[in-house]
Amino acid sequence: MSMDRQAKAVVCREWGQPVQVETITVEGPKRDEITIKVGACGVCHSDHSATTGKIPYPAPLVLGHEAAGVVVEVGEGVSAFQEGDHVVSSFISMCGKCRQCVRGRPVLCDQARKAMINLPDGTVRTRGADGEPLNVFGACGVMAQYATLHVDNCVKVDPSIPMQNAALVSCAVMTGVGAVFNTAKVEPGSRTAVFGIGGVGLNVVQGCATAGAEMVVAVDTNEGKLAMAREFGATHTINLSEVDDATKAIRKLTGGVDYAFECVGAGTVVEQAYKTLGRGGTAVVVGVSEPKDKTSITTLSLPADERVLRGSWLGSARPVYDFPRILGLYKAGRIKLDELVTRTYTIDEAPQAFDDMLAGKNARGVIVFD
Ligand code: NAD
Ligand code: ZN
């Protein structure tokens, strides 16, 4: 018998207002769903963007899409998961059967597009104090003590990995490392530049280093972030507040990069990243901008220099394959996860975790549950 659970959760009630922690009701799983007790949930800039309307998810909204937890209840028809399994959430709801899924691009699955908000069937298992339905971020809403998710949004992981590390694979690490390994397919000896050294950009930096890039130029406005970038494998750093023209500086240093990654979410930065490319270079847009934001590039440079401008959604992940793959690289000592967790917070401290992210204090801030 499926049961309701009371859970503290981080909720956006109105765009432009700080997040609030409230007690919500999480219904038990229906068919093909599981309920997890969340162990840890990272705070991503996308969560903040959902509270301002930059990512226009309707409020009220339970935040969180970067969590690890333990299965506490399984719904009818679920055979792939059982109570006690450790899982990480995936904001990509892959059906596994459509044309995009079978050609290895589940981030483009129709079900994943539909379930950018709420569960794949459009409903939610979350209610506020007055019984009103609460939307959930990316079919997840895992910044909460409990969450009920569709099995297509869950990936089983090695239970020996601490929750606060495993959680980060479901967004920051997958997005960053995946943009390098899966989207760009950076070759050893490549020259690369990374714009925006947040939780995501830092993982692009370590992805480039792991892929054997000759140069990894990290670009940010915050000196603390650049110091972190050096620890994660950046060979050069550029503080935007100290140079007049970052594009020129990078081109001088590298002769034009083979790969540039935009991890900020602004057309102006996309333009900058594109301008750093050498001939045959690829610019990968990872940051999520406002829907109406535009960018500008020189059209002729596309054919004449064979440049490429492309995007990367969750690091072009195949979650069921890639999440365990990245955790395997962590266990083998090739990917840093411990060092990404600058600070942990209790759920009551969630508003502080958002403030600290905006102040650029953390590689990643992670909410850890009892
Ligand atoms: P964050 O807040 O942790 O980091 C952003 C970084 O960008 C900060 O270090 C900040 O100092 C820096 N920055 C701000 N303006 C800059 C500028 N003009 N030039 C260079 N650096 C600048 O954010 P995050 O969690 O790392 O997320 C980064 C972006 O990636 C966001 O837009 C987020 O929504 C997006 N994102 C995309 C995906 C995807 O699947 N494509 C997944 C997760 C997050
Ligand atoms: Zn995210």
Residue 44 CA to ligand 2 center (angstroms) comes to: 5
Determine whether the shortest distance from the Cβ of 12 to ligand 1 is under 6 A: no
Q: How far is CA 270 from CA 264, 309, 310, 316, in A?
A: 9, 9, 10, 19
pLDDT-derived band at 67, boundaries 50, 70, 90: very high
- In the chain the domains, ranked by start, together with CATH numbers, are 5-156+337-368 (3.90.180.10), 176-312 (3.40.50.720)
pLDDT-derived band at 1, boundaries 50, 70, 90: low
Preceding omega of 60 cis (within 30 degrees of 0): yes
In this prediction, residues 47-60 reach a mean pLDDT of: 96
pLDDT at 355: 97
Ligand 1 atom with least separation from CA of 54: 34
pLDDT at 127: 98
In tens, the pLDDT along 277-324 reads: 999 999 999 999 999 999 999 999 999 999 999 999 999 999 999 999
Residue 256 CA to ligand 2 center (angstroms) comes to: 29
Which helix (H) or strand (E) element contains residue 17? none
In tens, the pLDDT along 103-130 reads: 999 999 999 999 999 999 999 999 999 9
Q: Assess whether pLDDT exceeds 90 at residue 370.
A: no
* Nearest ligand to the C-alpha atom of residue 46: 1
pLDDT at 2: 81
In this prediction, residues 163-182 reach a mean pLDDT of: 98
Determine whether the shortest distance from the Cβ of 170 to ligand 1 is under 6 A: no
In this prediction, residues 230-256 reach a mean pLDDT of: 97
Among 222, 169, 201, smallest CA distance to 366 is for: 169
